[in-house]
Amino acid sequence: MTALAALFVRDVRLAIRVGGGGGIGVLFFLIVVTLMPFAIGPDLALLGRIGPAILWLGALLASLLTLDRLLAMDQEDGSLDLMLTGRSPLELAVAAKALAHWLTTGLPLVIAAPLLGLFLNLDLGSSGAVALTLLAGTPALTFIGLIGAALSVTLRRGGLLLAVLVMPLTVPVLIFGVAASNAALVGPLPFGTPFTILCALTLISIVVGTFAAATALRHGME
């Protein structure tokens, strides 16, 4: 357990000290949201209507962007091999890494979302709702991305391949994330229905992502 805690603390500390990861993700998020009105026009009513969708798409792309930092650096400096041969189960080690990654890259996106919501003509209440759905949904993105990161680390191919493998799997999260935000904003639907399903998706992704990534690493490194 202490080994896992040490790993978690190390990852968080590295991400904060080395920088890049979380900060660049938020910057990317900001740029995507800034570009949107240039593409669809500065119509405030329209922006308010599709605002949650823009925020969700931006967060999805931003979390994809930071994924290749999740395992690649550990593979380069050999600490991944230590994790493979270490005593703590690989599943837990990988989960600890993903959790640290979410804390340093996913959580900043969630915090930035209400602020960016102002640009998109969302009032504070609805921005808060979108941020809440992002808080529930971004762990799913990280853990789904974990599978892609593990596969691309073992194959020594990153970047575009990783995005191509991961993106189709994020369809359900995107659907229910945006649906829950819209339900809070306008929808006839109660907020709880899509939101609980979103939480369920996150829990499933944590389980599937952890085990699939650990299996990928075990099989890929032998």
Q: Which residues are near other proteins by CB under 8 A?
A: 147, 151, 154-155, 157, 161, 164-165, 167-169, 171-172, 175-176, 179, 189, 197, 201, 204, 208, 212, 215-216, 219-220
Write down the least CB distance from residue 119 to other proteins, Å: 26
Select 132 or 151, whichever has its Cβ closest to other proteins: 151
Q: CA 64, CA 146: separation in Å to the nearest integer? A: 10
Select 14 or 189, whichever has its Cβ closest to other proteins: 189
Write down the least CB distance from residue 128 to other proteins, Å: 22
Select 4 or 175, whichever has its Cβ closest to other proteins: 175
Closest CA to 126 of 63, 55, 201, 62: 55
Write down the least CB distance from residue 168 to other proteins, Å: 5
Q: CA 107, CA 198: separation in Å to the nearest integer? A: 17
Q: CA 98, CA 19: separation in Å to the nearest integer? A: 17
Any idea what the Cα angle at residue 158 is, between residues 148 and 145, rounded to 5°? Answer: 25
Select 13 or 157, whichever has its Cβ closest to other proteins: 157
Closest CA to 205 of 133, 153, 162, 146: 146
